[in-house]
Structure 1
Amino acid sequence: MLELLSPAGSMEAVRAAVQNGADAIYMGYGDFNARRNAKNFTREEFAQAVEYCHVRGCKVYLTLNTLLTDRELPQAVPCAADASALGVDAVLVQDLGVLRMVRQVAPDLPVHASTQMTVHNLDGVRQMADLGMTRAVLSRELSRDAIAHICAHSPIEIEVFAHGALCMCYSGQCFLSSLIGGRSGNRGLCAQPCRLRYGWNGKADSNPLSLKDMSLAGHLRELRKMGVSCVKLEGRMKRPEYVAIVTGIYAAAIREDREPTAQEMTALADAFSRQGFTQGYYEDKTGPDMFGVREERKERESEREKKLFEQARLSYEDGERSRVPVTFFAEVRRGQPARVAVKDEAGHIAAVEGPAAEEARTRALDQAAVEKQLGRTGGTPYRCTAVKTKLDEGLSMSAAALNALRRSALEELTAQRKVPPQRRTGEFRTGVRYEQRREPPVLTCSVTRAQQASDDLLALCPALVYVPLEELAAHPELADRCPAEVRLGVTLPRVAWDRERDRMMDQMKEVYDLGVRDALIGNLGMIAPARALGFTLRGDYGLEVYNSQTYKELRHLGFASVTASFELKFPQIRDLSKALDTELIVYGRLPLMMMENCILRNRTGGRCERACEGPDNLLTDRKGAQFPVIRAYGCRNELLNSKTLFLADKAADYRRLGLWGARLHFTTEDPATCVLAARRYLGQSSWSPREYTRGLYYRDVE
């Protein structure tokens, strides 16, 4: 049966989820989880929540799925160690450095790959398995065919989101909140700027980045049949009543192997929706119909919603919903203490003794009477499924005595179910510190279009020039134009589904045959394809290199260099123990979003003819800032920052960071501008862009 995983942002929400049928909950503990604004738990509260869940047969998953700095990693150690000691069933991570830490301090604690790791293809899932993870949470953007293909070949469990908010960007690849507001979604503090008004032609008059909530309530049987292990409900920031409503409807549908009724679907919409729900990604039908906003509720709807939430509160405030099946065993023999035992499905057995039965004076105790008293488990977490009795004839025993035996047995069973598993513990070791490079970084360039790698740019002899896979395969002459002193590298897609793999591999072989040996990788799912062809692995910003432990993990995976996160400040980058050569983006429009839903096609009413190449593909916000939208691999979109990162006049600052390479990241620039920028960074001119930003290198990111 499908595992139903519900959100819990408070103790009330824990009860709401469990009492309405959740098989597992996910919750935060401490400051290091992707919903830092949720009401996180103290250690005592967290321990109580774990006990509460385990007694009732519900698993608990800890969310430790944010990027951590070197200073924060040691602070997260007690969180991981405590969680393991308390018996948490698994921990979700995004950061490879956090994964490394968890393996050290809690080696027996199962680890799940968070959706923040952007796992979206089979190679990515297999990479998670190689890293020792037992489950991968897939990107929300995948279609039913993509999910089915992964499930059919996956070596580990697969979890998919089934209900709740959809981000416009692939999770783990969004920098919009941090770059425009200083609050990082990768650090658990997304401000949801995608829900604001934007528009085209200089007017912020619509919501082209605000998707409806997803609901796969009508596809649960299909998900189970294709091999999905777990369906996840989003909503740790939502109220407990919401958790109760959504959990209850999904739990009933899964338990009864059916689709929700029309009445249940109305209840889901009343609990929360943005102009209804969408199954667009799952059905592989992206487009304008997937978008919506939260509307003002009409009076009639508000009244209906109020009643719905009142009923939902009763579901978890009004006693226990007995959910753990148990079998009782009773032995009432002449001249011996009465014995009662209870056994749960996990194999726990609790046995108690009471006073011996007396000889019956009037009516003798029979099997039906024993079963009746022992079966009265109402008000407890337990549900009696059978009573097996050995009873001598002619004996008498009061109902009160049998009830006391039942209560004692269940209390003992509860105590056993609270006991956490025995797990090993370890010590977090940061390991050897690597010396910083002292020589100035070489200049590297990444282009978006082959034309940007002009003869004039190549003549400036950057150490490495990265060209997107599609562009390099379509322009093989670039390899002939490249001077011997310039290495040509290929930028692999950050997102490429399994259905695109064959074409991608053909293009990679073509590029390799041109003599290209360096592959810039922004997703862990690209490691296996690149390694299979013999490319040198170079990490891009999509890998989220945020701490020294991530360096060591990527070194173990065979990388030759990495790109430090542009969400770090200069002092943080300087202090990293760089186990690998390090690049840093020092120029260009930084990426904000990687989008599966093509907003350029949505804008033109579904027409794709040259829509990606329009000069007016500028998304405007409420303040008039304009964000370019460009095409990414596979007819996806990438949203870029409104201002260009410019640090040529700050070269003294970034040259002290121990970098191997300073990268110019060319996106919307024409070839001439690329040359002007490169000359400025080489100290050959005084050029600068009209409008620019220093990015996040000089300011704090929450």
Structure 2
Amino acid sequence: MSHPPVELLAPAGNWECARAAVENGADAIYFGLDVGFNARARADNFHVDELPSLMEMLHRQGVKGYVTLNTLVFTDELPALEANVRQLAEAGVDAVLVQDLGVARFIHRLCPDLALHASTQMTLTSADAIERVRELNIQRAVLARELSLQEIQKISQATTMPLEAFVHGALCVAYSGQCLTSESLGGRSANRGQCAQACRLPYDIFRDGEPVELGSQKYLLSPQDLAAHDYVPQLIAAGICSLKIEGRLKTPEYVANVCGHYRQAIDAALENQHRKLSVEQKRELELSFSRGFSPGWLEGCDHKRLVPGLTSAKQGVLLGTITEIRKDSLFADLVAPVAIGDGIVIEGDRFAGTELGGRVYQMAQGGMSVDRAQQGAVELRMQRGLLQTQSIEPGTRLWKTDDPQLTKRLRRTYDGADPVKRVAVLLHVQVAAGEPIRIEAQVSDGVVIQLTSEHVTEVARKHPVTMATMQEQFSRLGGTVYRLEELTAEIRGEPMIPLSVMGSLRKELIEALDQARVTQPLACAPESITVAMLEQVPADLEEDDEPAATDATLRVLCRSLQQLEFVLEAGVKEVIADFHDLRQYREAVQMAHTQGARIELASLRIHKPGEDGLFRALEKNAADGWLVRNLSAFQYCIAHDIPRACDFSLNVTNPLTAQQFIEWGASRITASYDLNRDQLCELAAYLPAQWLEVVIHQHMPMFHMEHCVFCSVLSPGKNKSDCGRPCDRHDVKLKDRVGAEHVLHADIGCRNTLYNGTAQSGAEAVTPLQELGVQQFRIELLRDAPQEFTQELIQLYRDLVLGRVEGAEVWRKLNADNRIGVTRGTLEQPRNPLAIL
């Protein structure tokens, strides 16, 4: 039985990592450029001038190279993006990963032969969403990491799109493409590759205003790392064509280690064998990097296993527990091997400064000096004075974080002068006296070349050529990436071939193989397309499209029936309902219509297989339309002819993306929260005014998570089947290390959103936006508040959009009222992308 090809895809933050991936079995690597547009800005990344030599190296060894252009792109960056894409095409890259829908259509128009892969940043969690982006010529979809094996299989069965999934490495607690934490707190957008990893920080939790004592469980949002090695056969059976390793910020030793193990697992699975990690192999992976391993979401949700909350740092291998400290020696009961020179860490709180680490200088076991110990009681002598810096209690756990011998062994796999990974060559030679030599070579990736020598063979006087001689001569491929797999020959007569001729043919053969296997440049549009595409944005409107609104519209998003009642009493005629309990939507629609108001219902931000019933529940309430937050909901609206507007979570930051959603039938677009004031105005300048809505008051939704903190720390259960739903009964906040308290909500899908405790106001952006024709604005209420407060807030913003007050005056009033206390947040100018949380 033949198996479909399964790709091992490895990260490469620099040249060493690229070589480590290639030599340890990767079929493809993905990497970013230092010009930006990639979601790992902190990686070394490659300079664009290095692309030709990098792609040449990869293709020579039969490995593909994918470039990450997987961030949102602002309007003024499109010319630079075009220049970069032209360089990628010239270098012959195999594919680009994209997040931004407008960027996808832009690249395809610029270079139709350049393959497009939908990044995990596109938040693809259903077959419907995948089918929606197929129209943009996407050729592969990288699935969200929050999907279970069962959900992956359902998606695979419902689409023909090739699917890629992460199998190893760090897990983000928030959905990729839906995390606004770094943006909200420090102006460092994860959608722009500048994540500050606020999920790895400690948090306290408050339930109904009272602190919950969790002991050392402080890292409430820091998942363990994904390790799906033992799930490789199931992932392949579920329809995954590419198994992806996370780690563009990791070391080349990490890349070599992880690639080697997953290469063996894939090869075994394709031979219908199941290769599980041994204890020693698991320890090797843990040493390269591990915050503790888990299967992530592959087995479904187990919130306690996913986020134990005890640490957010690399742990390595558990060595054992400390039994005693004497001067510079610690005595421990080992459960794993340790050797002189190993790096170890005594467990503690890194942020509190109670974690200690160092190297083992000497060891003793059973009263004798040893270089290595496997298990049992051992004495480890550490750096002088290290152990006297603080009190260490017996029973404290001890971790091994570095093994120099393992590091050396891993480096040897990729830093030699000659390639380790070789490309198999099949040769067929035809030799006949009085004729040129003819050679046909075929390599394992399907390339076939044919050579005919200038030399005409003569009849041998003494030593006619033999198969053995040709086998020996053509096997001499050391220093190249090739190895002779098999040689066949047709020898007629008794021809003689000088060794010098065979040497020249061997050299010519290698050059011809290299030439044939290095990808040729891809064709791009001859003229610049940026200006032309931007000019077509308003031009693509139909003549009978509605003209821009002349009256200002203020919509209000409500999160409860009581809020809706207050808002309607305040005279608001455009409302959005975003309730925890969907059963209340029918009453909400009736209430709005009774007051002569238009009402939209908000979809969830995430939609997974098996959740279509939520769409049907929304539809039967007969609202005036939906505020759509994911591509699955958009697809459902198209299929059922439901009026639809796009929310911020669809990440519109440039006119091309806005245009795409309008062409798909959206009535308006909510600008992405990644835009600052100037970028909002630039977007508005290119768009017909009626397309755009701007949220001018809100609590920024920072983390949006499949992980449920309510279940993890406030329930004895492990998921929604047995948690008891504490989210229905308790008001919960998380307090960060600077003392700010942030509000935690759970939606009907049991996904959590952590909202910034301080509201953001865009009051000062309203006037410049209105000067550009924008007349649709929105405020979002977070939770129930007194009627007087809610209606005062609405009146203040209504006066602003109607021109009765200035934005600066609104800002002063909001800050003078301690009940509000707003920040300019992401709209602040100038934004500092290097701000530290």
TM-score interval for Structure 1 and Structure 2 normalised by the shorter chain: over 0.9
Q: Does 1:495 align with 2:507?
A: no
| Post-superposition offset of 1:104 | 1.8
Paired residues of 2:21 and 2:259 also in contact (CA < 8 A)? yes
Residues 1:584 and 2:700 aligned together: no
Paired letter, 1:675: Q
Q: What is the match of residue 386 of structure 1?
A: 486
CA contact (8 A) 1:617 1:628 kept: yes
Of residues 658, 664, 686 in structure 1, which corresponds to 2:773? 658
Measured after TM superposition, the shift of residue 381 of structure 1 is 1.5
Query: Would you say 1:342 and 2:441 are equivalent positions?
Result: yes
Aligned length: 696
C-alpha change, 1:465 and 1:671, in structure 2 (3 Å) is farther
SS at match of 2:796: helix
Mapped contact 1:242–1:309 kept (Cα < 8 A): no
Is 1:72 aligned with 2:77? Answer: yes
1:675 matched to 2:805? The reply is no
Change (3 A) 1:190 1:590: same
Query: What is the CA deviation profile of residues 239-266 of structure 1, one whole-angstrom value per residue up to 9, with x for unaligned ones?
Result: 1121111111111221232424313222
Q: CA deviation at 1:324?
A: 2.0
Matched, 1:459 2:574: no
Partner of 1:210, secondary structure, is: coil
Q: Secondary structure at the match of 1:71?
A: helix
- Residue 656 of structure 1: how far off its partner (Å): 3.7
Q: Does 1:182 align with 2:155?
A: no
Closer, same or farther: CA 422–70 of 1 in aligned 2, 3 Å: closer
Counterpart selection for 2:299 from 268, 278, 283: 283
Give the direction of change, closer, same or farther, for the CA distance of 1:650–1:133 in structure 2 (3 Å limit): closer
Which shifted more, 208-217 or 305-314?
305-314
- Code of the residue aligned with 1:694 in structure 2: it is R
Match of 1:530 among 637, 649, 663: 637
In the alignment, is the contact (CA less than 8 A) between 1:574 and 1:658 conserved in 2? no
Q: 1:103 to 1:413 in 2, by over 3 A?
A: same
Query: Contact 2:734–2:742 at 8 Å: present in 1 too?
Result: yes
CA distance in 1, matches of 2:633, 2:576: 16
Whichever residue aligns with residue 96 of structure 1, its letter is L
Find the counterpart in structure 2 of residue 402 from structure 1: 502
2: distance between equivalents of 1:677 and 1:492? 25
Q: Which residue of 2 aligns with 1:695?
A: 825
Task: Kindly state the Cα deviation for residue 23 of structure 1 after the two structures are TM-superposed.
Answer: 0.7
Alpha-carbon distance in 2 for matches of 1:379, 1:555: 56
Larger Rg: 2
Residue 612 of structure 1 and its aligned partner are, at CA, apart by 1.3
Judge which range, 561-570 or 606-615, deviates more: 606-615
Q: CA deviation at 1:698?
A: 1.8
Q: Distance in 1 between matches of 2:579 and 2:640?
A: 14
Greater CA drift, 517-526 or 293-302: 293-302
The residue that corresponds to 2:356 in the other structure is: none
Q: Could you give the per-residue CA deviations for residues 421-472 of structure 1, whole angstroms, max 9, x where no partner exists?
A: 5535353222246599684631101122233201x31133324211137645
Indicate whether 1:224 and 2:236 are aligned.
yes
Find the aligned partners of 2:778 and 2:552 in 1 and give their Cα distance: 9
Q: Distance in 1 between matches of 2:181 and 2:662?
A: 29
By how many angstroms is 1:500 displaced?
Answer: 1.3
Number of the residue aligned with 2:260: 248
Q: Determine what percentage of the aligned residue pairs are the same residue.
A: 31
1:206-225 superposed Cα distances (whole Å, 9 cap, x missing partner): 10111111011111111112
For 1:55, the equivalent position in structure 2 comes to: 60
Partner of 2:732: 617
The farther-off stretch of 673-682 and 552-561 is 673-682
Instruction: Say whether the 8 Å CA contact 2:559–2:580 is kept in structure 1.
Output: no
**Could you say which residue in structure 1 is the equivalent of 2:469?**
369
Moved more, 120-129 or 685-694: 685-694
In structure 2, give the amino acid aligned to 1:405. Answer: L
Please point out which of 543, 555, 558 is paired with 1:444: 555
TM-score (normalizing by structure 2): 0.79
Is the Cα contact below 8 Å between 1:271 and 1:305 reproduced in 2? no
Q: Is the 8 A contact 2:24 2:421 kept in 1?
A: no
SS of the residue 2:414 aligns to: helix
Deviation of 1:92 (Å): 0.8
Provide the rounded CA distance (Å) in 1 between the counterparts of 2:115 and 2:21: 22
Are the counterparts in 2 of residues 473 and 511 from structure 1 also a CA contact under 8 Å?
no
Q: Which aligned pairs between 1:232-311 and structure 2 lie closer than 5 A?
A: 232-257=244-269, 258-262=274-278, 263-274=280-291, 276-291=292-307, 292-295=311-314, 298=344, 299=359, 305-311=403-409
Q: Aligned letter for 1:59?
A: K
d(CA) in 1 for partners of 2:117, 2:456: 52
Q: Distance in 2 between matches of 1:340 and 1:12?
A: 36
**Cα distance, 1:394 vs. partner?**
3.3
Task: Give the Cα separation in 2 of the matches to 1:40 and 1:517.
Answer: 48
Q: Pick one of 659, 673, 676 that aligns with 1:569.
A: 676
What is the CA distance between 1:538 and its match in structure 2?
A: 0.1
Matched, 1:84 2:89: yes
Contact 1:142/1:281 (8 A) holds in 2: yes
Residue-by-residue CA offset, 1:1-43 (whole Å, 9 max, x unaligned): 3111111111221111111111111111221111122222223
**2:31 aligned with 1:27, yes or no?**
yes
- State the distance in 2 between where 1:617 and 1:671 align: 19
CA distance in 2, matches of 1:399, 1:535: 77
User: Structure 2: 5+ residue runs without aligned partners?
Assistant: 316-342, 345-358, 361-398, 540-546, 718-722, 805-809
Give the match for residue 591 of structure 2.
Answer: 481
For the 8 Å contact 2:589–2:621, the answer to whether it is kept is no
Q: State whether structure 2 residue 182 is matched by structure 1 residue 138.
A: no
Which amino acid counterpart does residue 457 of structure 1 have in structure 2?
V
Partner of 1:414: 514
Mapped contact 2:628–2:645 kept (Cα < 8 A): yes
Residue type matched to 1:450 in 2?
Answer: L
> Given the alignment of the two structures, is residue 641 of structure 1 paired with residue 756 of structure 2, yes or no?
yes
Name the CA distance, whole Å, in 2 between partners of 1:419 and 1:600: 52
Describe the SS at the equivalent of 1:328: strand
Partner amino acid for 2:313? R
What does residue 210 of structure 1 align with?
222
Q: Name stretches of at least 5 consecutive residues in structure 1 with no aligned partner.
A: none
